[in-house]
Structure 1
Amino acid sequence: MATAHVDLAKARQMRALLERYPADLTPTVGPAAVVKTGRSVYSPDVSEELLAKVTAGPEHLEMLRSIGMQSVIIVPLAARGRRLGALSLATERGRVADKDDLALARELGRRAALAVDNARLFHDMEVAQTEARFQAALLRAQNEAGIDGVLIVSPEGEMISYNHRFAEIWGIDEQVMHSRSDDAALARAMEQVDDPEAFIARVRQVYEQRPSRTQEEVVLCDGRVVDRYGAPLYGDDGTYYGWAWYFRDVTEHKQAEHALFESGERFATLARTLQESLLPPDLPEVRGVELATRYHPAGAGLEVGGDFYDVFRTGRDRWGIVVGDVCGKGAEAARFTALARYTVRAASVQTRAPSRVLSVLNEAMLRQNTSQGEQGEERFATVIYATLRRARGRVSLTLSSGGHPPGLVVRTDGTVERVEAPGMVLGLFPQADLSEAEVTLKPGDSLVLYTDGVTEARGPEGEFGEQRLIELVSGCAGASAKTLAEELELAVLDHQGGDAADDIAILVIHAT
């Protein structure tokens, strides 16, 4: 609210009136009615009856009388289809406002509203530009800090973005990189690969067909082996923005694999290495949150399981958290587990909605199952995905579950709440029925996510079960994430006599 008057005494009087009786947006007359209806009010002669309608009592009425209004004009402040407020104009006694004054007031209102809306749009634009600059800086830092070579190519064949690791892997000089010509970079790469014709044919096929995800192993003339991953870049509206390539020199890994093949420890070591590759090597540091995980493979750990978890940044003070369980064991399960983990990461770039991220994963798993035909076993997964945000000293999470066991919120007083976000198992049906749930963690609260290796663990007393789980975590109320995760893992293993019949994955988020 703002007031103005050529007479300073009157201006102070009007300010005092507004301070004593702030504007009420509920009445059906006056400025509130103009804001609500969008129609102007023109009263050439302000009567006692009109004043009585807009006042809150005798004192208010007397203050309005003392101003000495003859005529009142109230016009809406509207711009671009939005009503922003109202402009009230009044004349002193002896000066009656006419239709020309009404027309002038409407024009003033129109121009004032446009100026206010322009200021709002400018502010929104500044906020969006700041966020865009932050996201660009974050992307550059991630690209340069990673061990993978990264190349982003536009639909027109221009190198939009790349990192130094990409140039190192392929030995491409600065002149070619500065040219930003994908054709020039491809020509240099073809000089180094063992089968240049197959190499360029595959690249052209990918650009033409735009599969949802690609993964190939490229052998170079000098004996090096490079893993090449790729995925299309689509906006939320379906616009195609180009192709993202990721390259990793896996020569040392291949050499190690060959050596292990000739040793008696090959199978156990390979299983452990592959399993570890499906899990993040370290958990990130999240301000205001303590994270802890526990993973225990089934049996002796000679077969790669399908349980996985991941925590990754999706924006400023925003994080993605996923826990999942792909059916089966062995190489096929590991392949689907890798698909699930990296698809979730890729989908989180396109959307912040957890249910939409799981829908993208469901589509990817269906495509993978279809591409295998009858040669491979149909795979499915249960997955719970959450977005974490920090604001005003609290931790807020939005969760969606694809057939996964519900998360448990452990309050500081020992109360345990099930996080209900019902959804269908992923990888089996074209349309996954998914929902979302909101959770707020205050300092000392924890959220426990786990796989069914916890609740379905069997011992002499039967299944470990959800009720036993709830009682255990309730007894750990207020404990650190590390303590809670360790206590839960120990209890589940003790229940089974020390050995796990199924993989166990536990992830605890504790608000500090």
Structure 2
Amino acid sequence: MDDQPGPAVPDRTELALLRAAVEGGLDGMVVVSADGRIVTSNRRFAEIWPIPAEVVASGSDEAALASVLDKLVDPDAFLVRVHELYGTASGAARDELLLRDGRVLDRYGAALRDARGDYIGWAWYFRDVTLERAAVVDAGRLGALIAVAQRLADARSEEDVLGVVSGDGASVLGAAGAVLCLAEPGAARVRTLATGFFDEGLRAEVAELPADAPLPVVRVATTGEAVFLADRDEALARFPGARDSYVRARAEGAGVVPLTSHGRTTGSLGVVFTGRHPWRTADRALLQALAALTAQALDRLRAQAAEQEATREVRRLGEALQHSLLTPLPSSPLLQLAARYRPAARAARVGGDWYDAFPGADGCTTLVVGDVAGHDRAAAVAMAQVRNVLRGVSVTVDGGPARVLAALDRALRRLDIDTLATAVLCQASAAPDDPRPRAVRLRWSNAGHPPPLLVHPDGTAEFLARVPELLLGVAPDRARTDHEVTLAPGATVVLYTDGLVERRDQDLDAGSARLRAVAGELGGLAPDRLCDALLDRLAAGSEDDVALLVVRVAD
């Protein structure tokens, strides 16, 4: 008789703790038994995979798998991989799933075994990594768009423009081909230039078309209204007369945006995809930016001023790219916010300065100003990466600014974003123990950035300077420090980059002293007017770009 004790059975408290741990995780989790039954899953799994309640209630893993196939870009590969892993009944696997709605899921699975080593099922874990992947992808596309702008500046003919747009330009979006449609106001016909993706016969047929031809590129060129089509069914529902062209072009998803010059529509730019293409907001903005660059290149050709326009175009691109990453400021009953970005006086100087403000996970308002080292395309790309990763980190990491900056530093290392950056990150919330109903608690941590300037309601000003801490990208595992101050109603905090205070002909202390004096003098202005006044008084002719964020505690 075997007298050895069996495995310990968890008591009710231990089971409750285990369940709470499963529910509290960042990952969606589901456990499937060896015979294909769903044993347990958590709330996050249901949020990621909205499986019908009756399917969940049935406990059938096969039914659950079938219910999500229409959400996947490649459902066949998904099923093959799942059944392959179930068949091996051993080991672990990790991959990424692309969903038709544009999300990206990190999937990890591991075979489960009991104390005797027998296979008893499989555990799956899912995490939505869309923001993290988009941060890296969009930053890379930002850099590629700058390269497109520089090539368009060298274009000497409409064919050159089409070559750039259909090559590097289409690649930025992942498109298979591109079409330019050029129109003159009131003209009865339009001209189109299509890339080699389309067969020669089709290119010849559409080279010149009536202005009322039932094609998306013609419609947009004559109306100025953009069209974004996820797939062929949607396209043909809106443009039934385009069926023959769509079939011959092997097109599925498509996007067409107007080309404008001096407020006038001069044509359209269209891109096509051989598969379905859900249009994210970032994708639409990127195509519109590409169209703006294309329109400006064509305009330069018409005006015979390519060389004179090229420098100004790169300057405008740098400014537009910066501003595209500077999202609208959030509203708050406690705070009045205003921000500005001013590019450097030198024309082709694209920098790494940025500001941001967004609601925090715990109800606070997160405020940040930062500066990535460098003044070139690489700096702009790195700035986009750092800013977007910081947003993702901020909404997933609980704790004060020091913890968020430390997590950002580690995330940059894991994502191989090799750059140096300064940043000051603040969290503003209602002061918990202050008798004044509108007093605000400001917590901040500083990664080698110029210190925030606090202007008190009486006009006195002081820098919130503490012991300097390391830049981001130097020592990601080094601990960081939180600081805290209570702001009275009417107090103002000025966050800025060094372009506001640094000059070649004066030292940093002198520039900082000027900022303190001017901010104290003008501190009674509304935040928007204060931003403009500080830039006019301190940043005129600056050789560096400037990001500025002004925070006023509501009276």
TM range (shorter): 0.5 to 0.7
Residue 364 (structure 1) aligned to one of 366, 391, 411: 411
Which residue in the other structure is 2:258 paired with?
none
Q: Deviations over 1:480-506 (max 9, x none)?
A: 222322211111233x3xxx3111011
* Residues 207 and 509 of structure 1, relative CA distance in 2, 3 Å threshold: same
1:384 Cα deviation (Å)? Answer: 0.4
Aligned-partner Cα distance in 1 for 2:469–2:29: 36
Residue 288 (structure 2) aligned to one of 256, 262, 283: 256
1:298 Cα deviation (Å)? Answer: 1.5
Residue 490 (structure 1) aligned to one of 536, 543, 548: 536
* Residues 154 and 299 of structure 1, relative CA distance in 2, 3 Å threshold: farther
Give the conservation status (yes or no) of the 8 Å contact 2:488–2:553.
Answer: yes
Query: Is 2:229 the counterpart of 1:347?
Result: no
Q: Pairwise CA RMSD of aligned residues?
A: 4.5
Give the conservation status (yes or no) of the 8 Å contact 2:231–2:254.
Answer: no
Which residue in the other structure is 1:271 paired with?
318
* Residues 197 and 300 of structure 1, relative CA distance in 2, 3 Å threshold: farther
Give the conservation status (yes or no) of the 8 Å contact 2:352–2:383.
Answer: yes
1:508 Cα deviation (Å)? Answer: 1.1
Give the conservation status (yes or no) of the 8 Å contact 1:362–1:432.
Answer: no
Which residue in the other structure is 2:133 paired with?
214
Which residue in the other structure is 1:313 paired with?
359
TM (norm. structure 1) is 0.53
1:184 Cα deviation (Å)? Answer: 4.5
Letter matched to residue 439 of structure 2 = R
Give the conservation status (yes or no) of the 8 Å contact 1:452–1:504.
Answer: yes
Residue 445 (structure 1) aligned to one of 486, 491, 513: 491
Aligned-partner Cα distance in 2 for 1:277–1:452: 21
Which residue in the other structure is 1:417 paired with?
462
Give the conservation status (yes or no) of the 8 Å contact 1:278–1:337.
Answer: no
Aligned-partner Cα distance in 1 for 2:423–2:81: 35
* Residues 254 and 400 of structure 1, relative CA distance in 2, 3 Å threshold: closer
TM (norm. structure 2) is 0.49
Aligned-partner Cα distance in 1 for 2:253–2:535: 41
Aligned-partner Cα distance in 2 for 1:184–1:176: 13
Which residue in the other structure is 1:38 paired with?
none
* Residues 254 and 470 of structure 1, relative CA distance in 2, 3 Å threshold: closer
1:288 Cα deviation (Å)? Answer: 2.7
Which residue in the other structure is 1:503 paired with?
545
Query: Is 2:439 the counterpart of 1:394?
Result: yes
* Residues 161 and 465 of structure 1, relative CA distance in 2, 3 Å threshold: same
1:251 Cα deviation (Å)? Answer: 4.6
Aligned-partner Cα distance in 1 for 2:523–2:411: 38
Give the conservation status (yes or no) of the 8 Å contact 2:335–2:551.
Answer: yes
Which residue in the other structure is 2:448 paired with?
403
Residue 342 (structure 2) aligned to one of 293, 296, 300: 296
1:426 Cα deviation (Å)? Answer: 0.6
Aligned-partner Cα distance in 2 for 1:156–1:311: 39
Q: Deviations over 1:6-25 (max 9, x none)?
A: xxxxxxxxxxxxxxxxxxxx
2:365 match: secondary structure: strand
* Residues 299 and 477 of structure 1, relative CA distance in 2, 3 Å threshold: closer
Query: Is 2:424 the counterpart of 1:384?
Result: yes
Give the conservation status (yes or no) of the 8 Å contact 1:389–1:395.
Answer: yes
Give the conservation status (yes or no) of the 8 Å contact 2:373–2:419.
Answer: yes
1:269 Cα deviation (Å)? Answer: 5.4
Gaps of 5+ in 1: 1-135, 137-150, 227-245, 373-377
Aligned-partner Cα distance in 1 for 2:532–2:332: 20
Question: Between the two proteins, what is the percent identity of the paired residues?
Answer: 28
Give the conservation status (yes or no) of the 8 Å contact 1:298–1:501.
Answer: yes
